[in-house]
Structure 1
Amino acid sequence: MKVLVGALLVLGLFLGLPVSAAVIVASVATPAVAEEHRTLACEGVLPATGQWRPPFESAYTQTSQFGNRFHPIHKEWRLHAGTDLVSQPPGGQVVAASGGTVSAVGWSGGGGNTVTIDHGGGVVTRYLHLAAPSPLSTGQVVHTGQRVGIEGSTGDSTGSHLHFEVHQGGQPLDPVPFMLEHGAPLSGAAVGPSTPPVEELPGPGLPEDGEGGIGFELPEPGQPRRDSLTNPPRQVPPAVQALYAEAGQKYAIPWTLLAGIGMEETAHGANTATSSAGARGPMQFMPATFATYGVDGDGDGLAQIDNDADSIHSAANYLIASGVNNGEQGVRGALFAYNHAHWYVNDVLFYAHAYGGGLVLGDPLHCPGGPGNPDLPPVSDERVATMLEFAAAQNGDAYILGTNGPDAWDCSSLTQTAMAAIGITAPRTAQAQRDWLATGNGFRVPVQDAQPGDLFFFDSYLGPLTIGHVGFVWDPTTLASIEAANPTKGVGHFSYEHALDNNIFEIWRLGNINDNPKPN
Structure 2
Amino acid sequence: MKKVVIGLAMVLALMVAAPLAAAVMIVVVSSPAAGEELKAQECQSGSTVATGPWRAPTAQKYVITSGFGHRTSPGGGIGSTYHEGVDIAMLPKPGSVLAAAAGTVKVAGPYSGLGNAVVLDNGSGVSTTYGHMAKLDAKIKVGSKVTIGQRLGLEGSTGNSTGNHLHFGVTENGKYINPVPFMSQHGAPLNGQRVAPPPPKKTPPGDPGGEGGIGFPLPPPGKPRKASLHNPPIVIPSAIKAFYVKAAKHYKLPWTLLAGIGMEETSHGFNLGVSSAGAQGLMQFMPSTWATYGVDGDGDGKADIDNNADSIMTAANYLTKLGVTTGGAAGVKRAIFGYNHAQWYVNDVLYYAAKYGGGTVQGDPTECGTGKGNGNPDLPPLKSKRVKKLLTWAKNHLGDNYVMGANGPHTWDCSSFASAAYRQIGITMPRTAQVQQKWLASGNGFRVSPSDAKPGDLIFFDSYLGPNAIGHVEMVFNPATHQAIGAQNPKIGVAMTDYSHDMKNKHIFQVWRVGDIADSGKHTM
Cα distance change of structure 1 residues 160 and 394 upon mapping to structure 2, 3 Å threshold: farther
What 5-or-longer segments of structure 2 have no aligned partner?
18-33
| 1:228 lines up with 2:247 in the alignment | no
Aligned to 2:30: none
Structure 1 pair 9/453, CA: closer, same or farther in 2 (3 Å)? same
Partner deviation per Cα, 1:81-102 (whole Å, 9 max, x = no partner): x543544769865431112332
Counterpart Cα distance in 2 of 1:212 and 1:272? 41
Matches of residues 314-463 of structure 1 in structure 2 within 5 Å? 314-326=314-326, 327-369=328-370, 370-371=372-373, 372-463=375-466
Q: Deviations over 1:39-76 (max 9, x none)?
A: 3222423222222112244344496458xx79978989
Any conservation in 2 of the 1:414–1:483 contact (CA below 8 Å)?
A: yes
Q: Over residues 360-411 of structure 1, what are the superposed CA-to-partner deviations in whole Å (9 max), with x where a residue is unaligned?
A: 0001112223532233344444444444444444322232333333443222
- Structure 1 residue 348, shift from structure 2 partner: 0.7
Q: 1:506 matched to which residue of 2?
A: 510
- 1:362–1:429 Cα contact (<8 Å) kept: no
Q: Distance in 1 between matches of 2:482 and 2:194?
A: 35
**CA gap 1:500/1:133 in 2 versus in 1, 3 angstroms:** same
CA separation in 2, counterparts of 1:13 and 1:145?
Answer: 46
Are the counterparts in 2 of residues 206 and 249 from structure 1 also a CA contact under 8 Å?
A: no
Q: CA deviation at 1:478?
A: 2.3
1:492 to 1:152, Cα distance in 2 relative to 1, 3 A: farther
User: Which string of whole-angstrom CA distances, capped at 9 and with x for unpartnered residues, describes residues 258-281 of structure 1?
Assistant: 111111111111122122222222
The partner residue of 2:497 within 483, 494, 499 is: 494
**Inter-CA distance 181–43: structure 2 relative to 1 (3 Å threshold):** closer
- Percent of residue pairs bearing the same amino acid type: 50
CA contact 1:379–1:513 (8 Å) conserved in 2: no
TM-score (norm 1): 0.81
Is this contact kept in 2: 1:112–1:156, CA < 8 A? yes
Alignment of 1:43-442 (within 5 A): 43-56=45-58, 57-61=60-64, 64-65=67-68, 83-87=85-89, 93=95, 94-120=97-123, 123-128=126-131, 130-135=132-137, 136-149=140-153, 163-167=167-171, 175=179, 178-186=182-190, 188-194=191-197, 207-210=207-210, 212=212, 214-326=214-326, 327-369=328-370, 370-371=372-373, 372-442=375-445
Change (3 A) 1:91 1:335: closer
- How far apart are 1:473 and its partner, in Å? 1.6
Q: Judging changes above 3 Å, is the alpha-carbon distance between structure 1 residues 205 and 316 closer, same or farther for their aligned structure 2 residues?
A: farther
Corresponding letter in the other structure for 1:249: K
Asked whether the 8 Å contact 1:320–1:462 carries over to 2, the reply is no
Encode CA deviations 1:279-327: one digit per residue, 9 max, x unaligned: 2221112222222222222222222222222211111111111101111
State the alpha-carbon separation in 2 of the partners of residues 504 and 268 from structure 1.
32
Structure 1 residues 333 and 89 mapped into 2: Cα distance closer, same or farther (>3 Å)? Answer: closer
- By how many angstroms is 1:206 displaced? 9.5
SS at match of 1:494: strand
Q: What amino acid does structure 1 have at the position aligned with 2:309? A: A
Cα 1:189–1:515 change in 2 (3 A) is farther
CA distance in structure 1 between the aligned counterparts of 2:15 and 2:93, rounded to whole angstroms: 47
Counterpart among 25, 35, 38 of residue 37 in structure 2: 35
Q: Assess, with a 3 A threshold, how the Cα gap between structure 1 residues 311 and 90 changes in structure 2: closer, same or farther.
A: closer
Kept after mapping to 1: 8 A contact 2:251/2:468: no
**The residue matched to 1:36 in structure 2 has which SS?**
coil
Residue 34 to residue 296, structure 1, CA distance change in 2 (3 Å): farther
Sort the Cα spacing of 1:116 and 1:431 in 2 relative to 1 into closer, same or farther, 3 A.
same
1:318 alignment partner AA? Y
CA distance in 1 between counterparts of 2:384 and 2:35 reads 8
- In the alignment of these two chains, the number of paired residues is 488
Q: In structure 2, what residue type is equivalent to 1:506?
A: Q
Query: Cα 1:208–1:436, aligned 2, differ >3 Å: closer, same or farther?
Result: same
Partners of 2:478 and 2:36 in 1: how far apart? 22
- Distance change (3 Å), C-alpha of 1:161 and 1:222: closer
* Counterparts in 2 of 1:233 and 1:201: CA distance versus 1, 3 Å: farther
Distance 1:437 1:500 in 2: 20
Q: Secondary structure at the match of 1:54?
A: coil
Once structures 1 and 2 are overlaid, which stretch shifts more, 210-219 or 148-157? 148-157
Asked whether the 8 Å contact 1:46–1:427 carries over to 2, the reply is no
Which digits, 9 at most, give the CA deviation of each residue in 1:2-46, with x for residues without a partner? xxx9xx9799568449xxxxxxxxxxxxxx998231432224232
- RMSD, matched Cα: 3.6
TM-score (norm 2): 0.81
Q: CA deviation at 1:175?
A: 4.5
Change (3 A) 1:106 1:59: same
Q: Distance in 2 between matches of 1:95 and 1:305?
A: 51
Classify the secondary structure of the residue corresponding to 1:448: helix
Contact kept in structure 2, 1:233 and 1:263, CA below 8 Å: yes
The whole-number CA distance in structure 1 between the counterparts of 2:299 and 2:38 is 51
Once the two structures are overlaid, the 10-residue window that deviates more, 229-238 or 446-455, is: 446-455
Q: Aligned-pair distance for 1:357? A: 0.1
Q: Cα gap change, 1:251/1:244 in structure 2, threshold over 3 Å: closer, same or farther? A: same
Map Cα deviations across residues 74-123 of structure 1 (whole Å, 9 max, x no partner): 98998x7x543544769865431112332212233355443111335554
CA distance in 1, matches of 2:241, 2:205: 15
Q: Deviations over 1:218-250 (max 9, x none)?
A: 011111111111111000111111111121112
What is the aligned partner in structure 1 of residue 31 from structure 2?
Answer: none
Match of 1:475 in 2: 478
Alpha-carbon separation, structure 1, partners of 2:345 and 2:111? 58
Structure 1 alignment gaps of length 5 or more: 18-31
**Over residues 431-480 of structure 1, what are the superposed CA-to-partner deviations in whole Å (9 max), with x where a residue is unaligned?**
22111211122222232332222211122334433322211122222222
Cα 1:84–1:255, aligned 2, differ >3 Å: closer, same or farther?
A: same
